[in-house]
Amino acid sequence: MSAKKVIVIGAGIGGIATAIRLAVKGHEVEVHEKNEVPGGKMYLIERSGYRFDAGPSLFTQPQNIEALFEVAGEDIRNYFEYSSVDISCRYFFEDGKRLNAYTSHDLLAKEFQEVLGEPKEHVISYLQDSSRVYHSVGTIFLNHSLHRVSTWLHPRILRALAAVRFSHLFGTLNGHNEQRFTTPEAVQIFNRFATYNGSNPYRAPGMLSLIPHLELTQGTYYPKGGMISIPQSLIALAKRKGVQFKLNSSVERIELQGRSVKGVIADGQFHAADIVVSNVDAYYTYQRLMGDDRSAKKVLQNERSSSAFIFYWGMNRTYPALHLHNIFFSTSYRNEFEHLFDSKLYHEDPTIYINITSKMETGQAPAGCENWFVMVNAPARVDLNWEEQSHWLREKVIQKLERILGEKVGEHIEVEEVLHPMRIQQRTDSYLGSLYGTSSNSRFAAFLRHANQAGIGGLYFVGGSVHPGGGIPLCLKGAAIVSNMVN
């Protein structure tokens, strides 16, 4: 294999991982990032002694990161540390119920029965089924291209199909969960996993029931230093393997010669390349970087995923009732998703997620204080008055938290930053602020997601808007898929 010049556009987690894998294969790799720091959606906000991970906050499947260091021949312990978390999430309901989602199946099943009245055997059976579907079907769909004939001709496809139930393919996740559980709270908890790829559990297929396996069976983890340590460690690894990072370098165009790439124009200068990997939203790759409106419009035929509205709050006191990950559920979950995906509006009673890394280690907030990452699901749209929206939503969130916790919240906020869909679009080129590119709101969504290679010689795609999807684990898997495609 002859060494090639590779340019990666965008230093999101998928772009960095792809750069590492291709550098290890002997290619000359250069990463262009328009922002002043790499990491894409993963960056750090520091204010008055508070540290906030701006982007993803849940860490699962550390083996995807371990694989990068193994491929590179480096000891991960020199770069990155993490520990397991016994409680994956703490759930709060308006009627006062509070449930700890333990990563131990026995403890979790006991908690469901004691708190919700859900029979233990229902939980154990569901998680066993989730694991079976993940290992038989999920590993194929997530680790291989769905757009190559060789994937479908492999004997493992028949074995995978034998493991699939009717409700996995032809029913919704909500319908599947209603068949498996007797309490509405249990259904709501497992419906929530559709939001892990920005989807609607009342429309997304039952196949998404494999997602709980990642969190509740394989485990939930905390990276030392917070989530920002993930891109930091991978950037250090990439540089050690010879990857060159060009920050504040905005790629304006992908240059073609016929139906093959010949390089990129960045800040007015031409950079030759044999291979170009776009870690930019597929829509913007076509629309902005290639001037291909037809292909861009084709990308938009698939419904966009949801976005997020995030408050970063420095709290001048601690809240013992809260854990690392916390969910405060809406009392009208179905209606909340109708707002998000149909009317494209925020709901009066939003489900609230709070991540607090100061629960795990000191240095994340001043002594006696906490750093709250407070997120509500948001519609993928950027045409709102964000000052008004922020004020309205802030009041709704504070009222709900104070009501359920029975403690004051608003008066203890001493630091505040806000991230909304418009800012997400501006910073990361995620069209309409959607976090995962397209949603999985149909049984065909996985097959309709943009391919990692699409008909132009030397051009590849990686990241949340393409196969296999968004989120840290899937972006890392996408990097492995692209690396295997490049000779």
Strand partners, 51: 46
- The contacts found for 27-31 with CB under 8 angstroms, 24 or more apart, are 27/3, 27/275, 27/486, 28/3, 28/4, 28/242, 29/238, 29/242, 29/243, 29/244, 30/5, 30/6, 30/243, 30/244, 30/246, 30/271, 30/273, 31/7, 31/238, 31/243, 31/244, 31/245, 31/246
pLDDT at residue 159, as a whole number: 64
pLDDT at residue 125, as a whole number: 97
pLDDT at residue 169, as a whole number: 64
pLDDT at residue 144, as a whole number: 73
Question: Rounded to whole angstroms, how far apart are CA atoms 235 and 240?
Answer: 9
The answer, as to whether pTM is greater than 0.75, is: yes
Indicate whether 166 pLDDT > 60: no
pLDDT at residue 447, as a whole number: 74
Strand partners, 308: 377
pLDDT at residue 157, as a whole number: 64
pLDDT at residue 257, as a whole number: 95
Question: Rounded to whole angstroms, how far apart are CA atoms 96 and 83?
Answer: 31
pLDDT digits (tens, 9 = 90+) for 65-99: 999 999 999 999 999 999 999 999 999 999 999 99
pLDDT digits (tens, 9 = 90+) for 433-477: 999 999 999 887 777 789 999 889 999 999 999 999 999 999 999
Helix (H) / strand (E) element for 329: namely none
Phi, psi of 220 (to 5 degrees): -115, 140
The candidate with the shortest Cα–Cα distance to 430, out of 317, 305, 332, 318, is 305
pLDDT at residue 411, as a whole number: 98
Runs of H (alpha helix) within 288-420: 293-299, 333-338, 386-405
pLDDT at residue 454, as a whole number: 83
Given a contact cutoff of 8 angstroms between Cβ atoms, the answer to whether 56 and 41 are in contact is yes
**Which one is predicted more confidently, 150 or 406?**
406
Question: Rounded to whole angstroms, how far apart are CA atoms 473 and 14?
Answer: 9
Sign of CA dihedral 459, 464, 465, 466: positive
Query: What domains does the chain contain, in order, with CATH numbers?
Result: 5-43+55-83+224-302+439-485 (3.50.50.60), 104-218 (no CATH)
Question: Rounded to whole angstroms, how far apart are CA atoms 139 and 198?
Answer: 20
Banded model confidence at residue 368, pLDDT cuts 50, 70, 90: very high
72 secondary structure, DSSP code: H
Given a contact cutoff of 8 angstroms between Cβ atoms, the answer to whether 475 and 14 are in contact is yes
Given a contact cutoff of 8 angstroms between Cβ atoms, the answer to whether 307 and 346 are in contact is no
Indicate whether 426 pLDDT > 70: yes
Kindly report which listed range (190-204, 232-246, 355-369, 439-453) carries the lowest average pLDDT score: 439-453
Residue 211's CB is within 10 A of a number of other CB atoms, namely: 23
